[in-house]
Amino acid sequence: MKPIYFDYNATTPLDADAFESMLPFLSENFGNPSSIHRIGRRARVMLDQFREKAAALLGCKSHEIIFTSGGTESNNLGIFGVSRLMKRSDRNIIVTSPVEHHAALHCVEYLEKYEGFRKILIPVDRNGRVIVEELKSVLTTNADKVALVSIMAANNETGSHQPFQEIGNLCQEFGVIYHTDAAQWFGKESIDSGILFFNADLVSLCAHKFHGPKGVGILYAKSPLHPDPIIFGGGHENDRRAGTENLANIAGMIKALEKITPGPEDSMLFHWKQWIQEIRKSLAPLDGLKFWSSEENSLRNTLMFTFSNQDAISILAALDIEGICASSGSACSVGSLLPSHVLLAQGASETEAKGAIRLSIGRETTGEEIQKAISIISSTLSRIQKN
């Protein structure tokens, strides 16, 4: 039986055209873009063309594109690079939210613990959205000391949209740099005006979230912002990120980006929203089931729920046996289940936060799979409840 893949927020299958675009750089076009001979120069030309193509697709300047190894590095470079840069101007406060991806949140925690920064967490509401008035209050009091505001565009667990455009306006008003992790947005929601849609000074992208290869991403850094590097060596990426550029992965990412920018077709977005609503409607009658994804302000492909104080591992294992590949908002480590920090911030109990189940659909999902999955998930949860 072919598994039904409901874990697109974790990763997506590599697009066939993206795969094909990578192959020349794994064979004849193997040159190092920093080499001065003809093979190296040819690689440099391709790297420059990819950067220009990315800039054209995202609606920004080519020198504002920094190629990285993925979303984690993009977040690290944005947060470490700008925070350390701004600390030289006597700014040592980093403002973020408690629902950020750990690739961002752990950076802030490290800077607070070891480098003399102070973090301020802006609380979220029941739907996981940052309370903008709380952010405004913090900036009103501390703007001259704030090194960076880092708040994501959409949450990887619940799919919750953040009011990033309002946040960007506030940061501009108070003269504060704003970074947003948009890894989950690309390929799942429309982008009206390219990278400027996010109204941010720094934006993180991750290729494997939108059918590109793993191990490559982009950090957009609005000119003339120049984050301090966190990887040292050669002068790659205009002295912002040392290391020989991975042309094969970059080629795949640009092709995948080309196919989803400025956004997926409206029909696909409509189907995703409709299908998630169907799943929600089918599960709603089950006693003890609670949804943590907002119907109005969440990624249209994402649904997170908890069920009858059940732990996530048991539910996921039961679903996997039935051919449903889903995931949890919790982190598993050496057999122990950690509560989802996202759900805790949204007011869940620790027991609930250990039992979160996330369903995320995508480009290859079919209506037939949705109907089959509805039947399997409903019957599986009913069986677990009876036991």
CB 86 within 8 A of CB 147: yes
Name every residue whose Cβ is closer than 8 Å to that of residue 36 and which is 6 or more positions away in sequence: none
> 55: which DSSP letter?
H
The CA distances from residue 242 to 74, 94, 201, 234, 245, in Å, are 13, 25, 22, 5, 9
Both tokens of residue 308? 């009858």
206 noted as active-site residue = no
- The Cα–Cα gap between 238 and 225 comes to 12
Diameter over CA atoms, the chain: 70
Of 206, 238, 263, which Cα lies nearest the Cα of 51?
238
- The Cα–Cα gap between 142 and 286 comes to 47
Torsion from C-alpha of 242, 244, 248, 249, nearest 10 degrees = -20
| Cβ count near 94 (within 10 Å) | 27
Q: Which of the residues 60, 107, 325, 332 is marked catalytic?
A: 332
List the catalytic residues. Answer: 332
